[in-house]
């Protein structure tokens, strides 16, 4: 008997989500604080895309020190009633 394959399991494992990354970059005795959103399926992909972003932003620098403060998946659970009447389109 052949093993069954559930396509929904692959979708859950490989679903892309948004990640918030907060980090500090020290380059040429200057400190820059960054907050970025990265779409990735897991933390290792977040690291890959963050490295790509850093290479683009600081391609002329010889040495860049990066300190990552937070990497968190973004949740979209908001309380819409909290904003009722405050903001108008």
Q: State pLDDT tens for residues 31-65.
A: 999 999 999 999 999 999 999 999 999 999 889 99
Classify residue 8: in a domain, yes or no: no
- Residue 18, pLDDT > 70, answer yes
Beta strands in 2-78 (DSSP E): 17-27, 30-40, 65-73
Instruction: Tell me which residue of 57, 51, 45 sits closest to 18, measured CA to CA.
Output: 45
Domain tally, the chain: 1
* CATH code, 56: 3.10.20.10
Least confident of 9-13, 14-18, 37-41, 72-76: 9-13
In a domain, 6, yes or no: no
Q: What is the pLDDT, as a whole number, of residue 56?
A: 94
Does residue 55 lie in a domain region? yes
Question: Using CA atoms, how far apart are residues 9 and 3, in angstroms rounded to an integer?
Answer: 14
Quote the pTM value.
0.67
Range of the domain at 54: 14-76
With respect to residue 2, please indicate whether it lies within any of the assigned structural domains: no
Q: Does any domain span residue 21?
A: yes
Q: Per-residue pLDDT for 11 more than 70? A: no
Q: What is the pLDDT of residue 44?
A: 94
Within a domain: residue 47?
yes
Residues 6+ apart with CB under 8 A from 85: none
Q: Is position 57 within any domain? A: yes
- Within a domain: residue 3? no
Q: Model confidence over 61-81: pLDDT tens digits?
A: 889 999 999 999 998 766 666
């Amino acid at each position: 008997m052949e093993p069954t394959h559930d396509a929904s399991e692959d979708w859950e494992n490989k679903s892309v989500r948004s990640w918030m990354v907060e980090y500090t970059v020290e380059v040429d005795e200057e400190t820059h604080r960054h907050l970025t959103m990265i779409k990735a399926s897991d933390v290792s992909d977040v690291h890959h895309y963050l490295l790509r972003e850093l290479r683009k932003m600081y391609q002329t620098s010889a040495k860049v020190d990066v300190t990552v403060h937070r990497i968190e998946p973004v949740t979209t659970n908001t309380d819409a009633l909290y904003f009722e009447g405050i903001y108008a389109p």
